[in-house]
C-alpha cells in the first residue's frame, strides 16, 4: 500500500487490490458509488474520475508522481470529488468512459482520467498526465487548475458540452446496426484470412508493427481456416507467430508464462506484466496448433503455461488469480532480467556459458528499450540462435542440450524465487477464470493430464460456490472472502465455455447441467430481444450513459463472440435448436461489422466456422472406468477437429443423468459390450464403431 497508512482514505475499506494501492494517498478518494455522487451534487463540484488496474505500470507512475503528492492532493481535495475505479472489477464503467476518451482524444489507455459533472456526464478526458508539463504533455496540476477555473467561471458552457458529449457517446454505444437478413457466410472467413495475411510481419511474425500483442484468437481462427481451406499460408502464419513468441523475451524462459505484449517487432522486449487471460488464450492457441501439426513443441508450451498458472496464479482454494505486475522494487522487469555475473554465480562458469549462448546473454546487457529504457547491464532471456548449432558448438546432442538447459532453468528459478516478487493481483474474476478453465481442461484432454483437469475443476467449483448467489446470479469478482458486482456478459459466456470444456475433460454431467442453466440465465439477463445478440450489462445492472453491446475482439474475445460459440456447442450437446436459433440471431445482429472487417472479429469467425460446419456430435457409449475407452478418446482428442462436441454415456441403460440433458443419447448404447463411438455429421449419423482406427478414419 502506498502513502501513509495512518491517514487511510475510504479506499481502505475496499477489496480491490488497485483501490487498496491508493488507500494511503493524501487524495480524498471515493470508490465509485452514490456517496461520491451525492457529495458532488451537494457541493456542486465536478468529479475527477481515475480508472486503472493494479498491475498497470503507468498507473503506478501516476500514483507515485501525482497521487502521493501533497500539493496535487490539496488541489483535488479542494476543488473536486475524486473517484477511483478498478477497470477489472467494473468493466462496464471502464468501457463507457474509455469510449468517451477515445471519442474526445482519438486514443485511450490506462490510467484513464476524466472530469465529470455531478450527473456523471463527461466533459474532459485523457490518460496519463505527469505532475507538471513535460515535453508538450500538460501537467496534472495545470489541468486541475484550468478545469477548476472553468467550472467556476464557465459552468453553463461545460454543462452544455457535457450534455452533447453524453448524447453522442450514448448514441454511439447504444445504437446498433439493423440485423442482417442472413448470417455471414464462408466469404467472411476468407476475407478475414486475407486481411490477416495483409498485416502479417513476414520478417518477425505476428501482425502489424510495434508494440505487438499476442491476440491468440487470431491464430486459432487461422488454424480453422487452414483446416477448412487447406491453405498452408494460414498454418504458416500461425506456426511462425507461435514459434516467434515462444523464442522471444515476451516468454518467461525461467518461470514460464507470457508477458503482456512486446514493445518491439522482434518479440524480444516485453511489457513485463502477466495477465491470466493471456495465459488462457495462448494455451488454447498452442494446444490447438499441437493438434493441427502433431508437433510436440506446441504441446510442451501449453503444458508450461498451465504449469505456471497452477504454481503462481492459483489461490489456496483453487480459484485462478488475475495477474502479476511488471514492476518490483520500483523498476519494471527487475524480477525477470539477469546480469551475466548473476547467471555465473548461480550456475558456475561452464553451465553459464551454455545458458548465455542459448539465451542471448551479453556481458554488458542486451536490454536496450526506447520505451522503458531498460536496466543497465541486464539481459532479457530469449532464444537467440538455432539450438542445433548451439548443441554442436558445445559437443552435445540436441536432446542433451535440452536436458542441460532445463536443469539450469530450475536452478535459475530457485535463485529468482529469492528476489522481491512483483505484486500479485489476487482477486478472482469469473470471466478470466472461465477462460483459464477452458484452456486447462482442453490441455488436459489433448495431453491426457488429469492434474490439469483437476485444477480446472477446482476453479469451476470455486466460482460456483463463491461467485454465485443463492438465486443463481453470477457475480464478477471475489477477493478476501467477499464476492461483489453483478456478473457481466463476459462472466457468463466465458465461464460457460469453461464448463463445456470441463465436461469434455471429465464427462461429469453436472458441468453440462450448470452450463445449460447459466446459458438460459444469460438469455434472460443480457439478450437484446429486438436487435439480437447480448448487452454487456444485465437487466439488473447499474444504469450508465448507455447499455453497450460489444462484438470487437480485442485483447480478449468479446462476450458476444464467445456466446455464439457456446450456444452452437450447446445446441449440439443437447439437440435443442433453441440455442442454435439464439446464435443465428446473434450472427445476424453483427453481420455488418463482421463482413466489413472480419479480422477484427477473429473469435466470432471461429464461431462462424463452427456454424457453417460441418460440425460433429460424438457419443461414446462406455463406462468411464473401462480401460478400452482410452483409445477411443485419444482418437477423438488428439487430432484437430475443432467443430465437435463429445459426450460419454454409460454403456448400458438409458443414459442416466446425461439423458435428461441430451435426450438423443438414450438409444446410443454399447455394441456387444465394447466401448462404442457414434459420430453424427450434417444431421446424419454414421455406422457406430468400436475400433479407434475406424473412429480416426471417420473424423479425418
Q: Are residues 164 and 47 in the same domain?
A: yes
**Which of 141, 174, 207 is the C-terminal boundary of a domain?**
174
Q: Is the same domain home to 60 and 99? A: yes
The verdict on residue 322 lying in a domain is yes
Whether pLDDT at 2 is above 50: no
Mark whether 406 and 481 lie in a shared domain.
Answer: no
User: Which whole number is the average pLDDT over 91-95?
Assistant: 95
549 φ, ψ (degrees, to nearest 5): -120, 125
Burial 615-648 (b: 16+ CB within 10 A, else e): bbbbbbbbeeeeeebebbbbbbbbebbbbbbbbb
Mean pLDDT taken over the chain:
94
Look at 178-182, 316-320, 607-611 and tell me which has the smallest mean pLDDT: 178-182
Provide the number of structural domains found in the chain.
4
pLDDT digits (tens, 9 = 90+) for 480-492: 999 999 999 999 9
Cell 540436441 belongs to 398
pLDDT score for 171? 82
Q: Which residues contact 366 (CB under 8 A, 6 or more apart)?
A: 360, 379, 380
Q: Is 572 inside a domain boundary?
A: yes
Same domain, 438 and 486: yes
**What tens digit of pLDDT does each residue of 272-326 get?**
999 999 999 999 999 999 999 999 999 999 999 999 999 999 999 999 999 999 9
pLDDT of residue 1: 42
In the predicted model, is pLDDT for residue 373 greater than 70?
no
In a domain, 47, yes or no: yes
Domain identity same for 317 and 344: no
Taking the mean position of all CA atoms in its chain, how far away is CA 656?
36
656 sits in the region (left: phi over 0; alpha: psi -120 to 50; else beta) called: left
Phi-psi region of 232 (alpha: psi -120 to 50; beta: other; left: phi over 0): alpha
Measure the CA–CA gap between 602 and 120, rounded to whole angstroms.
34
Report if residue 181 sits inside a domain.
no
Kind and range of the H or E run holding 226: helix 216-229
Residue that finishes a domain, picked among 586, 612, 638: 612
Residues 6 or more apart in contact with residue 106 via CB below 8 angstroms? none
Mean pLDDT, residues 539-562: 94
Please count the CA atoms within 13 angstroms of the CA of 514 that sit on its side-chain side. 26
How far is it, in rounded angstroms, from Cα 303 to Cα 308? 9
Q: Rounded to whole angstroms, how far apart are CA atoms 303 and 300?
A: 5
- The verdict on residue 179 lying in a domain is no
3-state class of 486 per DSSP?
strand
| CATH code for the domain of 497 | 1.50.10.10
Strands 475-479 and 428-429: antiparallel
Which residues contact residue 412 at a Cβ distance below 8 angstroms, ignoring those fewer than 6 apart? 254, 338, 343, 346, 347, 355
132 and 223, same domain (yes or no): no
| Among 350, 253, 359, CA closest to 301 | 253
Residue 533, phi-psi category: left (phi > 0), alpha (psi -120 to 50), beta (remainder): left
What is the residue range of 683's domain? Answer: 616-699
Mean pLDDT of the region 522-549:
94
Pair 220, 193 in one domain: yes
Closest CA to 236 of 205, 207, 213, 209: 205
Q: Are residues 689 and 607 in the same domain?
A: no
Q: What is the pLDDT of residue 662?
A: 95
Mean pLDDT of 123-129: 95
Rounded to whole angstroms, the Cα distance separating 292 from 282 reads 15
Kindly state the percentage of the chain with pLDDT values over 70.
97
Residue 675, CA distances (Å) to 604, 628, 633, 653, 668 in order: 36, 7, 10, 14, 11
**Residue 150 belongs to a domain with what CATH number?**
3.40.30.10
pLDDT digits (tens, 9 = 90+) for 339-349: 999 999 999 99
Supply the pTM of this predicted model: 0.95
The CA distance from 343 to 365, in Å, is 12
Sign of the Cα pseudo-torsion (224, 225, 226, 227, in order): positive
Q: Are residues 368 and 465 in the same domain?
A: no
d(CA 22, CA 18): 7
| Pair 403, 290 in one domain | no
Which of 174, 196, 230 corresponds to the end of one domain?
174
Length of the chain: 700
Whether 300 and 434 map to the same domain: the answer is yes
Measure the CA–CA gap between 271 and 555, rounded to whole angstroms. 14
Confidence at residue 375, expressed as pLDDT on a 0 to 100 scale: 82
Sign of CA dihedral 429, 431, 432, 434: positive
Query: Are residues 596 and 475 part of one domain?
Result: yes
Say if residue 598's pLDDT is above 90. Answer: yes
pLDDT tens digits, 69-80: 999 999 999 999
Distance in Å from the first CA to the final CA of the chain: 56
Alpha helices in 27-106 (DSSP H): 34-43, 57-62, 70-79, 91-105
User: Nearest-CA neighbor of 138 among 51, 66, 71?
Assistant: 66
Amino acid at each position: 500500500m502506498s502513502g501513509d497508512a495512518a491517514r487511510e482514505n475510504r479506499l481502505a475499506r475496499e477489496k480491490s487490490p488497485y483501490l487498496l494501492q491508493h488507500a494511503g494517498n493524501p487524495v480524498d478518494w471515493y470508490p465509485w458509488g452514490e456517496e461520491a455522487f451525492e457529495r458532488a451534487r451537494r457541493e456542486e463540484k465536478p468529479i475527477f474520475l481515475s480508472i486503472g488496474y493494479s498491475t498497470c505500470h503507468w498507473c503506478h507512475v501516476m500514483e507515485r508522481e501525482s497521487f502521493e503528492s501533497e500539493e496535487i492532493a490539496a488541489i483535488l481535495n479542494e476543488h473536486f470529488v475524486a473517484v477511483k475505479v478498478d477497470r477489472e472489477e467494473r468493466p462496464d464503467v471502464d468501457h463507457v468512459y474509455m469510449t468517451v476518451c477515445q471519442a474526445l482524444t482519438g486514443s485511450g489507455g490506462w490510467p484513464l482520467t476524466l472530469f465529470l459533472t455531478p450527473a456523471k456526464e463527461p466533459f474532459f478526458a485523457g490518460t496519463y498526465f505527469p505532475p507538471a508539463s513535460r515535453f508538450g504533455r500538460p501537467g496534472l496540476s495545470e489541468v486541475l487548475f484550468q478545469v477548476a477555473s472553468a467550472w467556476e467561471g464557465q459552468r453553463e458552457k461545460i454543462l452544455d458540452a457535457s450534455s452533447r458529449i453524453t448524447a453522442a457517446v450514448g448514441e454511439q454505444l447504444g445504437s446498433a446496426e439493423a440485423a442482417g437478413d442472413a448470417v455471414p457466410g464462408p466469404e467472411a472467413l476468407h476475407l478475414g484470412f486475407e486481411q490477416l495475411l495483409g498485416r502479417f510481419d513476414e520478417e518477425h511474425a505476428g501482425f502489424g508493427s510495434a508494440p505487438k500483442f499476442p491476440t491468440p484468437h487470431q491464430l486459432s481462427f487461422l488454424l480453422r481456416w487452414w483446416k477448412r481451406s487447406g491453405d498452408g499460408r494460414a498454418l504458416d502464419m500461425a506456426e511462425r507467430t507461435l514459434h516467434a513468441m515462444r523464442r522471444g523475451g515476451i516468454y518467461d524462459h525461467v518461470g514460464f508464462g507470457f508477458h503482456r505484449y512486446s514493445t518491439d517487432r522482434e518479440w524480444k522486449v516485453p511489457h513485463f506484466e502477466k495477465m491470466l487471460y493471456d495465459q488462457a488464450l495462448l494455451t488454447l492457441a498452442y494446444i490447438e496448433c499441437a493438434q493441427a501439426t502433431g508437433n510436440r513443441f506446441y504441446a510442451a508450451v501449453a503444458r508450461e503455461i498451465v504449469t505456471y498458472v497452477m504454481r503462481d496464479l492459483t489461490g489456496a482454494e483453487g480459484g485462478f488469480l488475475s495477474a502479476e505486475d511488471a514492476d518490483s522494487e520500483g523498476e519494471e522487469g527487475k524480477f525477470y532480467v539477469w546480469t551475466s555475473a548473476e547467471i555465473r554465480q548461480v550456475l558456475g562458469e561452464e553451465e553459464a556459458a551454455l545458458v548465455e549462448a542459448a539465451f542471448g546473454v551479453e556481458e554488458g546487457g542486451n536490454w536496450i528499450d526506447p520505451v522503458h529504457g531498460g536496466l543497465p547491464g541486464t539481459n532479457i532471456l530469449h532464444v537467440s540462435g538455432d539450438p542445433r548449432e548451439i548443441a554442436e558448438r558445445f559437443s552435445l546432442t540436441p536432446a542433451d542440450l535440452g536436458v542441460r538447459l532445463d536443469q539450469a532453468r530450475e536452478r535459475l528459478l530457485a535463485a529468482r524465487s529469492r528476489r522481491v516478487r512483483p505484486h500479485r493481483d489476487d482477486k478472482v474474476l469469473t470471466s478470466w477464470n472461465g477462460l483459464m478453465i477452458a484452456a486447462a481442461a482442453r490441455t488436459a484432454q489433448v495431453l491426457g493430464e488429469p492434474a490439469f483437469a483437476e485444477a480446472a475443476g477446482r476453479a469451476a467449483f470455486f466460482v460456483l460456490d463463491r461467485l454465485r448467489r443463492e438465486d443463481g446470479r453470477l457475480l464478477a469478482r471475489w477477493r478476501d472472502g467477499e464476492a461483489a458486482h453483478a456478473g457481466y456478459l463476459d462472466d457468463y459466456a466465458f465461464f460457460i465455455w469453461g464448463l463445456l470444456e470441463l465436461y469434455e475433460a471429465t464427462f461429469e454431467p453436472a458441468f453440462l447441467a450448470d452450463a445449460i442453466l447459466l446459458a438460459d440465465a444469460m438469455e434472460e439477463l443480457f439478450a437484446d430481444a429486438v436487435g439480437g445478440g447480448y448487452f454487456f450489462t444485465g437487466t439488473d445492472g447499474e444504469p450508465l450513459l448507455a447499455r453497450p453491446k460489444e462484438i470487437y475482439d480485442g485483447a480478449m474475445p468479446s462476450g458476444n463472440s464467445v456466446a455464439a460459440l457456446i450456444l452452437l456447442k450447446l445446441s449440439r450437446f443437447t439437440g435443442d435448436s433453441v440455442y442454435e436459433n439464439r446464435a443465428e440471431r446473434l450472427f445476424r445482429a453483427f453481420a455488418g461489422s463482421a463482413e466489413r472487417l472480419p479480422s477484427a472479429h477473429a473469435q466470432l469467425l471461429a464461431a462462424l466456422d463452427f456454424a457453417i460446419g460441418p460440425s460433429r456430435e460424438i457419443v461414446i457409449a462406455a463406462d468411464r472406468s473401462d480401460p478400452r475407452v482410452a483409445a477411443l478418446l485419444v482418437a477423438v482428442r488428439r487430432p484437430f477437429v475443432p467443430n465437435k462436441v463429445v459426450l460419454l454415456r454409460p454403456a448400458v441403460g438409458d443414459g442416466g443423468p446425461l439423458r435428461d440433458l441430451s435426450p438423443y443419447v438414450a438409444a446410443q448404447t454399447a455394441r456387444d459390450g465394447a466401448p462404442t463411438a457414434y459420430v453424427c455429421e450434417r444431421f446424419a449419423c454414421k455406422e457406430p464403431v468400436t475400433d479407434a482406427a475406424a473412429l480416426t478414419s471417420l473424423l479425418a
